Amino acid sequence: MAKITFIEPASDFNAYGFARLPLLGTLYLGTMLKQQGHEVKIMSENIQSIYDEEKKRLDEKILASDIVGFSTMTPTVNRGYQIADAIREQQPNTKIIFGGPHVSSIPEEALQHGDVVVQGEAERVIFDAINGNGSSKVIKGKLLEDLDELPFPDFSLLNEKPNFNRLAPIATSRGCPFNCTFCSVSSLFGRKYRFRSADNILGELQMRVEQGYQKFFFYDDNFGASKEIAKSMLDGVLTRKLKFKWLAQSRVEIVRDEELLNMMSRANCEYIFVGFESANPNALKELNKRQDVEDIRRCIDKLHKHNIKVHGMFMIGADEDDVSTIEHTVKFCRDMNLDLAQFSILFPIPGTQLYDELESQGRIFTKNWSWYDGTHVVFYPKKISLLDLQEKFVWAWKKFYSLRRWKLYLFSRYLMSKWERCNKQFWEWFREFAAKTQDFWENGISKMPKVK
């Protein structure tokens, strides 16, 4: 049996990784492989750093591995390539496998740093990738129809036993029928929802509570997409008297079911994260969000009436955005008394409609994937200059978190100060680049300068 290490690289700067939670994909794969007798470790840089770039020092567990698998997203893939190259240099016989959304769209790039790329869901093909079945270096994943077949993730596989402040990740569904232009979920997990059964979910929740976990984060992109399963699960939580708080991601449609909201509140739902994206109706249409500003208002109001806090997620920099619409969106957040707001700069993920459109228009000026994290401008916007968009990102965070919420005010100042320190070289380069390209932007020249 093989010694296998999965690595979850971190991005250079993660403005949103406060909870330091691991990904579930590698936990599912690692648990399956462990059950087959393999020796498995999962090393998440969201929990602990695993590679010292200056000293070229890799963790000994990595160097002792027969196989190393990387789970990467666009902003973390450069770090993954860096670690993979170090492994190749120090242990050239180690087999390196890449998976995740980014490499699923650009497998040929990952093959410059590894031996095999798994595209899409990996559970049904992971043994082929590990055992080397077949000659293809690119293995197409297969959608798992029955999610109840998945084992409960084994947290003991992680490089450091997590307590996450007793917060545990959990997922109950996959897939998305919506087609937002900026999102890669449907291309990766399919356009059809797939769900775990309520009994299966309750079994995992019961186990985690018995392990001492006091809070759960539902990783589903749209919690409550199946009202029937959500209600059955919550009914089980209430009947079994499971005591925990929880957070989830959802869409504005969740508030259309009053019974579900009542059950969520009774079952100690603390926060719902919703991708509102913008208070600019034209931007919402452009992004194909299939919601309007009134839907957003209704969602916030109804969740608040059920004593559920709202974490609103917004993106700035759509073609229909300018300085005034960005300022309006931040004012909207404050007027609606959002509990938390998260602002990102729109960025094109490879494999999405947005990426294809911007690429065909020649508007993407850099392929430095580390900057594709929602905190850097990476393409030419239409109605706002490069510099104004970058500066409005920092301004939005500082403006929303006012002195009325002094703890969050101080935290937002700290976060943006940290971002500016971490991106000092970027800022120096970006100001110069923005100034040089201002004339191109104003004249609407399509073939604008690019950088590496």
Mean pLDDT is lowest, of 127-136, 250-259, 368-377, for: 127-136
Residue 102 to residue 70: CA distance in whole angstroms: 11
Q: What pLDDT sits at residue 426?
A: 79
Q: What pLDDT sits at residue 15?
A: 54
Residue 112 to residue 94: CA distance in whole angstroms: 15
Q: What pLDDT sits at residue 446?
A: 47
pLDDT tens string 25-61: 999 999 999 999 999 999 988 877 788 777 678 888 8
Q: What pLDDT sits at residue 439?
A: 61
User: Following CA atoms 154, 156, 157, 159 in sequence, which dihedral angle do they give, to the nearest 10 degrees?
Assistant: 140
The domain limits of the chain are: 3-140, 163-346, 349-452
Sign of CA dihedral 316, 385, 417, 348: positive
Q: What percent of the chain has pLDDT over 90?
A: 75
Q: What pLDDT sits at residue 49?
A: 78
**Into which CATH architecture does domain 3-140 fall?**
3-Layer(aba) Sandwich (3.40)
Token pair for 49: 């750093």
| 263-to-8, 29, 231, 236 alpha-carbon distances in Å | 35, 33, 7, 11
Per-residue pLDDT at 395 exceeds 70:
yes
| Averaged pLDDT, 243-271 | 97
Q: What pLDDT sits at residue 387?
A: 92
Strand partners, 315: 344
Residue 188 to residue 44: CA distance in whole angstroms: 22
How many CB atoms are located within 10 Å of the residue 305 CB? 11
Q: What pLDDT sits at residue 433?
A: 79
HEC readout, the chain: CCEEEEEECCCCCCCCCCCCCCCCHHHHHHHHHHHCCCEEEEEECCCCCCEECCCCEECHHHHCCCEEEEECCHHHHHHHHHHHHHHHHHCCCCEEEEECHHHHHCHHHHCCCCCEEEECCCCCCHHHHHHCCCCCCEEECCCCCCHHHCCCCCHHHECCCCCCCCEEEECCEECCCCCCCCCCHHHHHCCCCEECCHHHHHHHHHHHHHHCCCEEEECCCCCCCCHHHHHHHHHHHHHHCCCCEEEEEECHHHHHCHHHHHHHHHCCEEEEEEEEECCCHHHHHHCCCCCCHHHHHHHHHHHHHCCCEEEEEEEECCCCCCHHHHHHHHHHHHHCCCCEEEEEECCCCCCCHHHHHHHHCCCECCCCHHHCCCCCCCECCCCCCHHHHHHHHHHHHHHHCCHHHHHHHHHHHHHHHHHHHHCHHHHHHHHHHHHHHHHHHHHCCCCCCCCC
Q: What pLDDT sits at residue 434?
A: 78
Exposed e or buried b for every residue in 146-168, given b needs 16+ CB within 10 A? ebeebeebbbebbbeebebeebb
Q: Which residues contact 146 (CB under 8 A, 6 or more apart)?
A: none
| 29-to-7, 144, 293 alpha-carbon distances in Å | 12, 13, 40
Mean pLDDT over the full length of the chain? 90
pLDDT tens string 110-168: 999 999 999 999 999 999 999 886 678 999 999 999 999 999 999 999 976 555 557 89
Q: Could you tell me which CATH class the domain 163-346 is placed in? A: alpha beta
Q: What pLDDT sits at residue 445?
A: 45
Choose among 208, 201, 303, 298: nearest CA to 249: 303
| Averaged pLDDT, 334-357 | 95
| Averaged pLDDT, 223-238 | 98
Q: What percent of the chain has pLDDT over 70?
A: 90
| Averaged pLDDT, 346-369 | 96
Token pair for 7: 């690595």
pLDDT tens string 373-389: 999 999 999 999 999 99
Q: What pLDDT sits at residue 56?
A: 75
Q: What pLDDT sits at residue 151?
A: 98
pLDDT tens string 424-441: 777 777 777 777 776 655
Q: What pLDDT sits at residue 451?
A: 53
72 torsion bin: left (phi>0), alpha (psi -120 to 50), beta (else): beta
pLDDT tens string 92-114: 999 999 999 999 999 999 999 99
**Radius of gyration for the chain, computed over Cα atoms and rounded to the nearest angstrom:** 22
Determine contact, residues 321/381, Cβ cutoff 8 Å. yes
Q: What pLDDT sits at residue 166?
A: 78
